[in-house]
Structure 1
Amino acid sequence: MALRLISNPSLVLSSLLIFSTSLSFLSHASDILPQDQPLRDGQTLVSAGGTFELGFFRPGKSAYRYVGIWHRNTSTQSVVWVANRENPVLDSSGSLIVNATGNLVLTDGKGNVVWSTVTSSTQASSNYSMHLSDLGNLALWAGDGTAAWESFDHPTDTFLPGMTIRLDVKKGIRTLFTSWKNPDDPSPGNYTLGLDPLGSAQIFIWEFGSKLVWRSGQYNGQGFTGIIYRPLNSYGFKLMNDIVRQGFMYYTYSTYNNSIQKFVLEPNGVEKCSVLIEDTGEWTTVWEQPVNECEMYNYCGINAKCSVTDTPKCSCLKGFEPKSIGEWGSGNWSGGCVRRTPLDCQNNLSGDGFTKLGSVKLPDLSNWLSLVNDGQECERSCLGNCSCAAYAYTNFGCFTWGHDLIDIYQLADGQYDMFIKLPASELGSKSKVWIPIVIVPIVVVFILATCSFLWWKYRKQIKDLLQNGGKKESLFSGNRSQIEAKIDFSGPSQYGEEGDEGKGSELPLFTFGSIATATSNFSDSNKLGHGGFGHVYKGLLPGGEEIAVKRLSRSSGQGIEEFKNEVILIAKLQHRNLVRLIGCCIEGEEKILIYEYLPNKSLDAFLFDPTKQASLDWKMRFNIIEGIARGLLYLHRDSRLRIVHRDLKASNILLDEEMNPKISDFGMARIFGRGQNQVNTNRVVGTYGYMSPEYAMEGLFSVKSDVYSFGILILEIISGKRNSSFHHIEECPNIVGYAYQLWKEDKAEELIDPSIRSSCPIQQVVRSIHVALLCVQDRVNERPDIPYVILMLSSLSSVLPTPKPPTFRFHGSTDDAGKVESFSTYDVTITMLHGR
């Protein structure tokens, strides 16, 4: 079949008579464009089955020309892909050609390149061709039968059968569909659609690249839990999810009964699914979302539900009340709701239960418990976890949710029920007066029996101890009652990754003698390092387990409060990117922490050592950046109470045997109470160069303080240089000023560590520098939060805000505000601010 030329027949005839080379062009099939044969405005390619057509088109009322693919035999123009959506051809002089290096190139009448593909080929060859398939995929084929480029990998606004919506965290690939600006302008609009970058297998729609406006809910094998729609598997819709092992997942679908179908992200942010009625050539919409307020993401705020049949649409969940009565009464529901009464388990009671909320779109940010096999076990798992606020057991497993329940939509005929945890007082349960009456005598008897047993077993040692005036070493590390008086282990539990929880309040306590034995009496040969609060030693327990022992010096700034802080936080927090605490010891003046042993020590040992820098390639460095971000995400959002680390730096990032990062040293961390966004402190602690301006100067800190430190850390990881090493540069006394100057002059790649500069993906590294500069903005409200930082790092397509130039300089000098007095021990600085 000859190539179909939609133009003047007489012009074709004259061309054949004048140009003999056109004969070879016409001998190809109509769905193939051979190399070096131009496709001009007015000519088209048609797929073999006649379903799709490729050529030049003019959208709506526009005067410009674009190259695109559209459905044929429809009553109205139905464009599914646009090549030059950002650079139109101004007239009908455009020409499309496959050049010698295997790239598809669009030029205007003056020979200027308007748009082109980018393939890995660099050598000239005569074996390339372009092919339009009946799926609507435009592919560049090399002579060896491989596809050098496909339009399906570079979608615009339309999801067709055979395409994939993909997330590949290892390769940094994320398929994003972007709406047209308006029906007359196919340039990128305000809305994008893709998979959740955190890997939840949900489809999201964002506005302006970051504002979440809609989510599909989880995929259950037949459809999405947040969509009342015909089961998608009847259309061949399926999910391939290997995010845990291989780091990727994708959705795809096939045609149903040979129907012609498409999903389109409209310019107004609505996703429509349409089917072509072939008899009339008309498209009929079979599904679209979001179409009402309740389908908008978190329309009613946290811990509230939205129902289109209720008046007003928003209401607090049972047991919750509006966070702001005034705003709620005026119709502003964005603040959401808070609990009226804390859960009983937070007060060491046992009266918590559940209330059913039926037919809902399940909330966002769920934890899937893969080892739970039935509803009763799912309920028990949530009931035994103080950080679990709700659960749901569905046909695809057990899901639990943390402190805040986000984006709940009450559906008219939804198929999923969830159960919200409430204290006994909210459930109407009778007061359990009998509990203390029965339990207290049992506890007293147990304590007396235990004391009698211990006295009988260790009576000789106790007698010797009393006779020697208490100078003989105790058999116990202070004894548990003494320690628990200093360290309150009854604080709220924090749930960890994948629902894992820091269970119970018991932390193993070690005697000083056993720790001394494990470390060869704190031998210098076992010393791993030192910091402002003491030395760290490697040890070996009798069972063969290697440990890291942090022995706090008596002259250190860390007192009982810091020690208590670190023990409580690390013992309760469980996450793969946080260091694990094994036990502790308090005996006399000794305060000791026992951690898991990490063979690669801390990040600074690699990053700032010229002999080891090259071993940290970019892939490894980016993995460390992402791991730290995930750890901060857990601290700032996913744990029951937000936690600010306050001393994030390279020496406090430990590396395991696979070079995965773990945040350590929680001695200066602070827990934020419910509803707190910012705290003021009279005691500023941290490290110069990492502290945010508002913290260093005013003692104000928040989660954005950690974001600032994280930005500094990203710049150090990229450059391989300490922040303090830039003081000799007069114009840029720190790494922030230096990085910003390079970025402003389009020389950001000069910041990259020379040992990896030639082998790293420049675009990704420069983007990471851009993200870091956003993290270190002087003003708190201009810094992104950690979820947005992760989104920006994982996506190469979203447009980033422009960072403002840094103006903050802090050198420890005195000013009119007060006196700055600093005390340094190694790399840790404790700063006290004193008003005049």
Structure 2
Amino acid sequence: MERFPFFIFSSTCLFFISKFSVAVDTISPNQTITGSQTLVSAGEIFELGFFSRGSSNKRYLGIWFKRILPQTVVWVANRNNPLTNSSGALTIGLDGNIVLLNQTETVIWSSNSSSVPKNPVAQLLDSGNLVLRDGSSGINPEIYSWQSFDYPFDTLLPGMKVGANLRSGQIWYLTSWKSEDDPSPGDYTYKIDYRGLPQKVLCKGSDVQFRSEPWDWVGSGLPELYKNSLFNPIFVFNEEEVYYSFENINKSAISRFVVNQSGSVQHISWNDRRLEWVVMMTLRKDNCDDYDICGAYGICNINNAQNCKCLKGFTPRSPVDYNALDWAGGCVPGSPRKCGSEEGFRKFTDTKLPDTSTFNRSMSSMDCEAACLNNCSCVGYARTGILGCVFWFGDLLDIREYSEGGRDLYIRMAASELDSKNNGKPVAVIVAGSVVSGLLLFVFISCFTCLFFVSKFSIAIDTISPNQTITGGQTLVSAGKIFELGFFSRGTPNKRYLGIWFKSILPQTVVWVANRNTPLTNSSGAITIGRDGNIVLLNQTETVIWSSNSSSVPKNPVAQLLDSGNLVLREGSNPKSYLWQSFDYPFDTLLPGMKLGANLKRGQNWYLRSWKSEDDPSPGDYTYKIDYRGLPQIVHRKGSEVRFRSEPWDWIGSGFPELYRNPLMNTIFVFNEEEVYYSFENINKSAISRRLEWVVMMTLRKDNCDDYAICGAYGICNINNAQNCKCLKGFTPRSPVDYNALDWTGGCVPGSPRKCRSEEGFRKFTDIKLPDTSSYNRSMSSMDCEAACLNNCSCVAYAKTGNLGCAFWFGDLLDIKEYEGGRELYIRMAASELDSKNNGKSVAVIVAVSAVSGLLLFVFISWNTYELKLFQAWKLWNEEKPLELIDAFMEDPVPEFESLKCIHVGLLCVQKRPNDRPTMPTVLLMLDSENVVLPQPKQPGFYTERFPVEKDSSSSIVKKTSTLNDVTVTMLEGR
């Protein structure tokens, strides 16, 4: 205790320095940091001091960014041993180490270096690294006896390492916080697994959650990290060290990798303009990144509606399980292997190499196949560049298929399988859900799940009538003993709810709650039929705290719990006439027969809402509903903020391609004047009944590109690209600096300004998710979509919705995604941005204008006088028979659309008024482009006027009918 007052005195003097002094970034022996005092790095980038989180009295010594609010802590010394009050001091101890003392001067944390300098100094660097070094003059200040960078927290800063020193045994890895307000070690770790080829793994406890591609001399294992405008990745793999690090390209940029308490590993960057952290990359980015999702010898492809299937030459270990979407059992060889006897290797391309390999760096890659074939335990191999082979000796796990950029994998199998064609059954995907993870998903649960448990000897009590009640531990049970209704509590025992759950599934799975907003506060409470004929829930004072509240009640009311999980109020004599049903008021769960959407006539909305927490069924932050403004689409929101949006749903598709071709359920989509909703019904009635656990089969928000508007206006997201976002063709970043820094929120703008109705056209984009917020016209012919959009200066894009119907967009195009099997979108842009494709296409009709004679020549058409043929062309055009102009004996017939285009352009070139005729550059654009909208031609000028002439649009004079042969001479000149 004798030194403590001296510590206080010396530190006070130290920190009341003149305002003209340089920031204090070091402490020496006999100096301390206490209370609110801090060390600040020389460039005032980082700060070291004491902090607390939330309302806790626990205090920690940490490092954070000095000028960023809210406080962002990147390293904590005493995360396992917090101070319990405002006392505590950081100093250089008697042994030369950096030490943290509590109020009794007990060391609760130490740098604990076995090699300490003679003149120890602790310094906070501008890198965020706290170092212990020798402060003597003449000693290299970059020689450290200890550094905080060797003991990472949840954050990887530039210059830090994740990996291992193979000689010293030093391991560098990240560990999440326990919670947002508790920096003690959490469940998740992110480290290098260097058994075999090094690979990055994210673990929850000891369970692997994610694994990168194995990292060899060809690639890093994370293709997303290459071609990066924000930072340079550093990969080291030699006899002494194996690690990953990075350095920022822009030295003034602030970015970091972080593993958060929910198990997400992200690269985030500080945006000075928006004053917030922006997520640049998430390394675990889609469902196929979930570890071993498809089981042994299964392969995952995120672009397939059904993500998992067996590798070619393999079949499901349990076809029943695999068809029920339980892939954990994996696959087995289609034919048994006989070592050394008629075996070979099948090559699989563009794959993520499997888990747990061994490697030989000195072996020639040409010798890999022979080496594997000569070892009966070897099941597969891969080559690692010019030198080196990788081998696998157990079941092949965690394989995925990329669209491009993956590796070649050679898998051993019987010769009979190498020649056979594998027409394996597709693997189906259904949707299950979790509220715990903070995402509200559909919970698609088979209404026959519990048939396995039904007793054939008992009859369930499934109804109550007036003067009957359900109280205490009493329940209603549906006739088939599938569902049960009664009272339950979660977490807080004095809050009780009336709910419906699966009768024979443990732990209890609640699917509907009546009084989620008004829980009972004790064990009293009763459900009965009220005097007004409604189902009512009464508290201990017999006050109604919940009611079915139907305005139309039956004469003989009965409440019944059905085997579908639906609680209904009906007329006792009519079992099918429901005056009220719980299915009209969904909870967080969608059961077969329930609807998600709206009754447009009644104004009834059906949507899902999450629990507030795992133990609190009151309304949470997340909703999942149909947005039926414009084309209907399913949206997932947190409060009013859209987190996810499905593909717009029209008469071609549902917005969820994953739900088609599904052997477990039939999807139902209804979209008419009265209703718009989604529902489903089960095909396989025992699909999930054999396993006594819930298994997540599919999440509808499945990858980074499903994050709403991640690429900003006119940006497009492709999950298969290293950098997911880019501007649509014909558009450029609004802020190139932000876009190059992977901050895409500002979006993109047209490369050339649009001039309405002046040399504009449409570019066609294929295989995309249509943008947000459309309007539609179902009665319009799809052939008229282009003209309708072009004639409205506010229209920026259109899409065709089948044989009938058009969708239009009138604002910035948001939330566009590129994927196989997507839709076609036509976006308006200046003609200068459209491609001019001159690929020598043959045409049926070629237009030429003679400056001398002014004659219009139709090639391939035999005619005697231009007047007769021009009259014929104009007449056939107005009768919608222009193709009759084509000579039937043409040697090389050409596509009709090209013939029509040329006839169309020809008539535009000979319109009576010169101002109506297109310029020659425009003619070339019309002929070369596939997407330019052509205006309707007006009466030709060469035409002998046998009919009244239309009023000239530029004059108020109406010309008289004339029988004279008025001829307009057209000249070929640029305008």
More helix by share: 1
TM-score, normalised relative to structure 2: 0.38
Report the structure number with the largest CA radius of gyration: 2
* TM-score normalised by L of structure 1: 0.44
